[in-house]
Amino acid sequence: MLQALRNALVLPELRNRILFTIFILAIYRLVSHIPVPGVNVAVLRQIQDSVNGGTAGGLGNLVGLLSLLSGGAVANFSVLSMGVYPYVTAQLILQLLIPIIPRLDEISKEGESGRRKINRLTYIATVPMAMLNSIGQVSIFEQIGARATSGLGRVLPSWGFVPADNILPTLVTIITMTAGTMFAIWLGELITEQGVGQGLSIIIFGGIVSRMPFNIVALAQSGTDTMTNILSLAAFALILIGMVVAIVIIQEGERRIPVQYGRRVRGRRMMGGAGTHIPLKVNSTGMIPLIFAQALLVFPAVIAGFFVNSTDATVQNFANGVVQLFTGSSASGIVSGNEVIYALLYFLMVVGFTYFYTDVVMQQQNLPENLQKQGGFIPGIRPGKTTEVYITRIMRRLTLVGALFLGFLAIVPYIISILSTINGMQFLAPLGGNKQLISGAGLLIVVGVVLDTMRQLEAQLMMRRYEGFIR
């Protein structure tokens, strides 16, 4: 691998692409330290301590998700604090609407031209999505800030449409955060076109990796004595290696369905008759179910957070109960019922969304119809409806393995948190709950981006007859 990397750096074209990618990542990291105008830094630090300490409840989980998709820019409440999250949301919504709206379905089947139209619609939908997300994100930080400061401080003192003096600062904040999202998307597109790998994934990957050294240093200083710190670091290394190996196995796992193409005569030439296969992935959805499940699971806590300060005691108690139910942390080292319920709900929703999104992707690909149009068939299986039933049955079995794996990956931090309460395993406490150094979704992104980038470099090297990364 090192020799292949050396060969890639020797080639001028690949070297320029690698250097360009690093340059764009450096720009993104620099801009991510520019805060939104009017941010109260003191309150922001208290919010960070609340999220890192696991006392922010379900809202802390959503902040962790936003931090993941923004490459860590949320910590500074920078102009890039939303990252590419609005674009990812708009893209997912369009993917779900394509099989529902006939016109979008027709556009998606127009080849390269249709793909460009879908991308244009995604960019257009990103703007209002970013504006709504900016309002929601500020509201979340306001709620956490009010809880962290006992209502004495605000992260954006001039936020709100009342009184009238706050309208202009509020509009400036919304426009700034929306422009930051579009700037992040533009940087990602530059990497895709002129760099190495998928730009948006590379940006998220860079943010995750850049935070790892600081998190490891914090972990090494989290214990009460040297032996506890050593055990925490050793446990982190073993868990990380085990999760990476499992992710690689599942991500690369596939079921190959043999396909045969019938022979046909065109003029004097005999065409077709070749055999190939359809690779069905064990996990064809990536980290999408994790994002869907976490965002939807924390939604009740976000809504209830608006009513925790209600003057009506009944409404206030009910809102507090909802917020406490949708929390992903334990208090004072004791495993709470809320934590167990949250982990179970998270697991079930990840499994459910994995099946749902897999069905959506399979409907868009429409493999049986495409095979029949191209004159292909699965040996021993009749074309048409029988082929569709056969592929669906196999895909459902594969999805069961992928869904259970993603569900387990999602609740690993909570399993670690429960284990940390056992006598003699307190060294696991810094790795569990909201305090994990890297989440399952983050690891999926890191491993997926590394594999995808290695494949692209391998393809470039193989074209020039160099040995690639993957054998």
In this structure, the answer to whether residues 287 and 421 fall within a common structural domain is yes
So what's the pLDDT on residue 273? 58
Model confidence band, residue 471 (pLDDT cutoffs 50, 70, 90): low
In this structure, the answer to whether residues 238 and 121 fall within a common structural domain is no
Token pair for residue 296? 């939807």
Pairing relationship of beta strands 264-266 and 275-281 according to DSSP bridges: unpaired
User: Is residue 96 in some structural domain?
Assistant: yes
In this structure, the answer to whether residues 255 and 113 fall within a common structural domain is no
User: Is residue 455 in some structural domain?
Assistant: no
So what's the pLDDT on residue 463? 73
User: Is residue 458 in some structural domain?
Assistant: no
Question: What residues make up the domain containing 125?
Answer: 1-220+465-471
Give the span between the Cα atoms of 349 and 190, in whole angstroms.
35
Nearest to 173 by CA among 130, 228, 219: 130
With beta carbons less than 8 A apart as the criterion, state whether 410 and 290 touch. Answer: yes
How many residues appear in the chain?
A: 471
| C-alpha of 108 from chain center | 24
In this structure, the answer to whether residues 216 and 238 fall within a common structural domain is no
Identity (one letter) of the amino acid at 160?
A: G
Give the span between the Cα atoms of 9 and 181, in whole angstroms.
32
Q: Number of C-alpha atoms within 13 angstroms, CB side, residue 118?
A: 22
pLDDT digits over 228-239, tens only?
888 888 888 888
Please enumerate in sequence order all residues whose Cβ is within 8 A of that of 242, keeping only pairs 6 or more positions apart, or say none: none
In this structure, the answer to whether residues 193 and 68 fall within a common structural domain is yes
**pLDDT (mean) for 385-411:** 88
User: Is residue 452 in some structural domain?
Assistant: no
In this structure, the answer to whether residues 208 and 280 fall within a common structural domain is no
176 has a pLDDT exceeding 90: yes
Biggest distance spanned by C-alpha atoms of the chain: 86
Query: Which of the listed ranges 192-196, 292-296, 410-414 does the model predict with the highest average pLDDT?
Result: 192-196
In this structure, the answer to whether residues 50 and 142 fall within a common structural domain is yes
In this structure, the answer to whether residues 278 and 198 fall within a common structural domain is no
Please enumerate in sequence order all residues whose Cβ is within 8 A of that of 414, keeping only pairs 6 or more positions apart, or say none: 328, 339, 342, 343, 346, 432, 433
So what's the pLDDT on residue 128? 92
In this structure, the answer to whether residues 427 and 471 fall within a common structural domain is no
Q: What is the CATH number of the domain that holds 87?
A: 1.10.3370.10
**pLDDT (mean) for 370-397:** 83
In this structure, the answer to whether residues 119 and 205 fall within a common structural domain is yes
**pLDDT (mean) for 159-186:** 89
So what's the pLDDT on residue 331? 43
Nearest to 294 by CA among 444, 177, 103, 450: 444
Q: Is 83 exposed, middle or buried (0-12, 13-18, 19+ CB in 10 A)?
A: buried
With beta carbons less than 8 A apart as the criterion, state whether 206 and 71 touch. Answer: yes
With beta carbons less than 8 A apart as the criterion, state whether 187 and 197 touch. Answer: no
pLDDT digits over 318-359, tens only?
877 776 676 544 444 445 666 778 788 888 988 998 988 888
Domain count, the chain: 2
With beta carbons less than 8 A apart as the criterion, state whether 121 and 98 touch. Answer: no
Q: In what order do the strands lie in the sheet with 376-377?
A: 275-281, 254-261, 376-377
Cis peptide before 163 (omega within 30 of 0): yes
With beta carbons less than 8 A apart as the criterion, state whether 122 and 114 touch. Answer: no
Query: Is residue 257 within a helix (H) or strand (E), and if so which, with residue range?
Result: strand 254-261
389 has a pLDDT exceeding 80: yes
User: Is residue 267 in some structural domain?
Assistant: yes
Q: Residue 165 has what DSSP assignment?
A: G
Q: Which residue has the higher pLDDT, 301 or 109?
A: 109
In this structure, the answer to whether residues 159 and 184 fall within a common structural domain is yes
With beta carbons less than 8 A apart as the criterion, state whether 431 and 235 touch. Answer: yes
In this structure, the answer to whether residues 185 and 240 fall within a common structural domain is no
Cα(first)–Cα(last) distance of the chain, in Å?
Answer: 10
